[in-house]
């Protein structure tokens, strides 16, 4: 009788604790106000396309951990990253076109590492951003942008929830770092 009671209590507590937090969805869009662009920093270019890829093994600057579901998660990660980049660029109003160049943004994930176990799940991301002039083929911007994301130990009981949120924060920070770097550097005149 005591054994059944103990098992019932254990199942009940486990259900309660694991039900307190769900895995956050992929959300890589930086918070409002992380990228503030003034009129002089805007770029006279028409951003026609955004392409997101993962580095090949010989190009990687560390592991690229895309998740437990392999190719399905990788596809979702790339699409979420692309749409988050697009949204952040649109909201920042960094690009405007007054007879400017037509450009494409290439974002290559070079490193995406989250520790397998931990409390804060400090995630390290490096993305190579290149802006290509579509008429000349010249790179007007070419930088590796690095970022980190982590959560406090009390963010959630379940480690998978903390790990997922740390990954979201690392990618949000990477996009914000890219846009802030681009507004300062501008586009190379070639």
The pLDDT-based confidence of 139 (bands split at 50, 70, 90) is: very high
Task: Encode the chain in three state secondary structure.
Answer: CHHHHHHHHHHHHHHHHHCCCCCCCCCCCCCCCCCCCCHHHCEEEEEEEEEEEECCCCCCCCCECCCCCCHHHHHHHHHHHHHHHHHHHHHHCCEEEEEEEEEEEEEEEEEEECCCCCCCCCEEEEEEEEEEECCCCCEEEEEEEEEEECCCCCCCCCHHHHHHHHHHHHHHHHHHHHHHHHHHHCCCCC
What are the structural domains, with CATH classification, of the chain?
39-185 (3.30.160.150)
Q: What's the pLDDT band for 115 if we cut at 50, 70, 90? A: low
62-89 pLDDT per residue, tens: 887 776 544 456 678 888 899 999 999 9
Provide the percentage of residues in the chain whose pLDDT is more than 70: 70
Residues 160-182 have pLDDT tens digits of: 677 777 788 889 899 999 999 99
């Amino acid at each position: 009788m005591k054994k059944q009671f103990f098992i019932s209590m254990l199942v009940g507590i486990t259900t309660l604790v694991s039900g307190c937090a769900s895995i956050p969805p992929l959300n890589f869009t930086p918070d409002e106000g992380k990228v503030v662009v003034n009129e002089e920093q805007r770029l006279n270019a028409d951003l026609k396309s955004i392409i997101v890829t993962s580095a090949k093994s010989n190009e990687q600057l560390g592991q690229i951990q895309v998740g437990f579901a392999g190719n399905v998660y990788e596809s979702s990660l790339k699409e979420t990253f692309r749409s988050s980049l697009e949204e952040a660029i649109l909201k920042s109003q960094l690009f405007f076109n007054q007879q400017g160049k037509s450009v494409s943004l290439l974002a290559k994930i070079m490193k995406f590492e989250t520790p397998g176990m931990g409390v804060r799940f400090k995630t390290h991301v490096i993305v190579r951003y290149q802006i290509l002039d579509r008429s000349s083929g010249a790179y007007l911007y070419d930088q590796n942008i690095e970022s980190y994301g982590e959560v406090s130990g009390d963010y959630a009981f379940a480690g998978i929830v903390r790990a997922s949120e740390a990954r979201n924060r690392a990618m949000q920070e990477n996009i914000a770092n890219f846009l802030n770097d681009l507004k300062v550097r501008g586009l190379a005149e070639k």
